[in-house]
Structure 1
Amino acid sequence: MTQDDLFLTLLASPATPGLARTLISQRLTKWNMTDILDNALIVASELLANAVEAAPGAELRLHLRHVQNPRGILFRVWDPSPRAPLPRATAALTLTSIDAAPEDAWDHGGGWGLPIVQSLSTACGHTPTPPKGKWVWSHLTS
């Protein structure tokens, strides 16, 4: 970890993704990496929302690192849940499939977060941290 990294400890709450997006946006602007800002904010939102869902009320950790070669960022979120992240959606990721939510859940199709992260990331995955928890990470290139 370098002193330029963004490293935060946050409470898992519905407000967490929004707060993180604000701080990530400021850091990427400082690093002159606004070309990947939109994708980074989507990835951050998805990974943090999953962490909040996996461990509501728990302590989460966020780590954002500027990577030089290849130029980009490494974004990681830690939560205490031992459960590995698994996409709930099984259809191919298309605009039509994302919009295929049942009428009674029109604003929450659900399950598309990890496929979206996979499509926007150069690489992504998770790393267990025994005795509990895991880091879920995404690498985005500029």
Structure 2
Amino acid sequence: MPETVPRLPAALSASAVLSVECSREGFARVRSFTRDTLHVWSLDHRCDDATLVITELTANAATHAAPRASGAVGVAGAPEIRLGFLLDPTYLLVTVSDPDDHPPVYAPAGSSLEEHGRGLCIVDALSEEWGWAPSPPAGKTVWARLSTCPPI
């Protein structure tokens, strides 16, 4: 799992950013924003995978990082998570930034019947590559790269 965000080409096709609070409404906004953004970018064929990846990364941030965060709170006092989508002609880079410095924990040895702990396994299965990087002055960004190619 690389600890740097992939270098992007000088000319991106498009980008989109959204900040959400850790709440039920925030998760609904994440899914809606993902579907709407990918539809506008003509990536409907990647919508299900991208929505699942971004939801898992956001849930991890809300579950593990947000409770430890002392800053970066939104209007209602809940910690904020920042989502990013960067489109290159060959891939979609999905990012989730949170205010916690602890790295994500990838534990693929768990039982497939466990209710928790499978999020990064899902991200690993659906993405070409994923990783994380510190986000100075505090926090981290977890990212996943998905191909933009239609399925064969």
Q: TM-score, normalised by structure 2?
A: 0.76
Q: Secondary structure at the match of 1:43?
A: helix
CA distance in 1, matches of 2:44, 2:91: 11
Q: Which runs of 5+ in 1 are unaligned?
A: 92-96, 102-108
Which residue does the alignment assign to 2:85? Answer: 64
Paired-residue identity, %: 32
Runs of 4+ in 1 over 3 A off after TM superposition: 1-4
Which residue does the alignment assign to 1:105? Answer: none
The alignment status of 1:127 with 2:148, answered yes or no, reads no
Task: Give how far 1:138 is off.
Answer: 0.5
Which residue does the alignment assign to 1:137? Answer: 143
CA distance in 2, matches of 1:64, 1:17: 16
Q: Secondary structure at the match of 1:20?
A: helix
Q: How many residue pairs align between the two structures?
A: 127
**Over aligned residue pairs, what C-alpha RMSD do you find?**
1.9
What CA deviation, in whole Å up to 9, does each residue of 1:53-93 have, x standing for no partner?
A: 1214212111111111xx221100100011100024524xx
Which residue does the alignment assign to 2:55? Answer: 45
The alignment status of 1:90 with 2:109, answered yes or no, reads yes
Which residue does the alignment assign to 2:118? Answer: 112
CA contact under 8 A between 2:14 and 2:88: conserved in structure 1?
no
Q: TM-score, normalised by structure 1?
A: 0.81
Q: Secondary structure at the match of 2:124?
A: helix
Task: Give how far 1:130 is off.
Answer: 2.6
Which residue does the alignment assign to 1:94? Answer: none
Which residue does the alignment assign to 2:28? Answer: 18
Could you tell me which amino acid in structure 2 is paired with residue 49 of structure 1?
A
CA contact under 8 A between 1:63 and 1:75: conserved in structure 2?
yes
CA distance in 2, matches of 1:80, 1:136: 12
CA contact under 8 A between 2:85 and 2:95: conserved in structure 1?
yes
Could you tell me which amino acid in structure 1 is paired with residue 56 of structure 2?
E
CA distance in 2, matches of 1:60, 1:3: 24
Pick aligned residue for 1:74 from 93, 118, 124: 93
Task: Give how far 1:140 is off.
Answer: 0.2
